[in-house]
Amino acid sequence: MSARSNTPLFRLKRPAWCVEIALYLLCIGVSRAQIARLLGVDERTVALWLERAGKHGERLHQHSCQNQEPAVVQMDELMARVRSTVKRWWVWFALDPHTKVLLSLHLGSRKTDSAMGFVHALVATFTPGYCPLFLSDGLPAYFYALTAHCGQWVGGKWQVAPRLAYAQMIKILRWRHLIACFPRVLCGSLPCGFLRADPNGLH
């Protein structure tokens, strides 16, 4: 059996160091065309390496990130700059602040449909029936997505799970400097001592 089996390098003719350099340069923002010129390969080859690495990483995450029971989940979204497009893309992510495990990642718009897909993938990483404390910024889409996924149908009506605990960390900025941060509870209640344990809230 090849040492490259079950890796993104399987059946690739290029040496491992060449692919590793290409993937590293992609991670720091170097374009595929520049990498292709540097390594003396076709740009489509670099695109193939990126696709293979991405799919392998996704499979590895799905295999490893199951039956999670984080006490707290921090959710946020960052705007991503994508070359050759004027559309704004947002990277949604969910993080366990204690272990630093990235539980879910989603690329899309900053609207409710993207929030739904993001939260759907996030909830799938938890032990069935488990519900942690969710924290986010003030984006309303989180509330709709969480209440749509954490609950059940009772008598033909959707009921939000009473165990759902969700708070938005509201930040007050002055001249781009954080001067205050406080939680706004929308579902459930915060654990006793939460503010003392995590005074910074959502990072």
Q: Are 142 and 136 in contact (CB under 8 A)?
A: yes
pLDDT at 169: 87
Return the residue matching tokens 């009506």: 157
Does residue 124 surpass a pLDDT of 70?
yes
pTM summary value: 0.77
pLDDT at 1: 53
**Average pLDDT of the residues in 122-129:** 92
Tens of pLDDT along 10-63?
777 888 888 889 999 998 989 899 999 999 999 999 999 899 888 888 888 888
Alpha-carbon torsion (30, 34, 39, 42), positive or negative: positive
Compute the C-alpha angle 111/116/121, nearest 5°. 130
Tens of pLDDT along 11-21?
778 888 888 89
Distance CA 165, CA 192 (A): 13
CATH code of the region 16-64: 1.10.10
Tens of pLDDT along 70-121?
999 999 999 987 766 677 899 999 999 999 999 999 999 999 999 999 999 9
Tens of pLDDT along 136-161?
999 999 999 999 999 889 988 999 99
Q: How many residues would you count in the chain?
A: 203
Boundaries of every domain in the chain: 16-64, 72-197
Q: Are 19 and 64 in contact (CB under 8 A)?
A: no
Distance CA 99, CA 186 (A): 25
pLDDT at 194: 62
What share of the chain in percent tops pLDDT 90?
A: 52
Distance CA 39, CA 203 (A): 38
pLDDT at 84: 64
The DSSP output letter for 35 is H
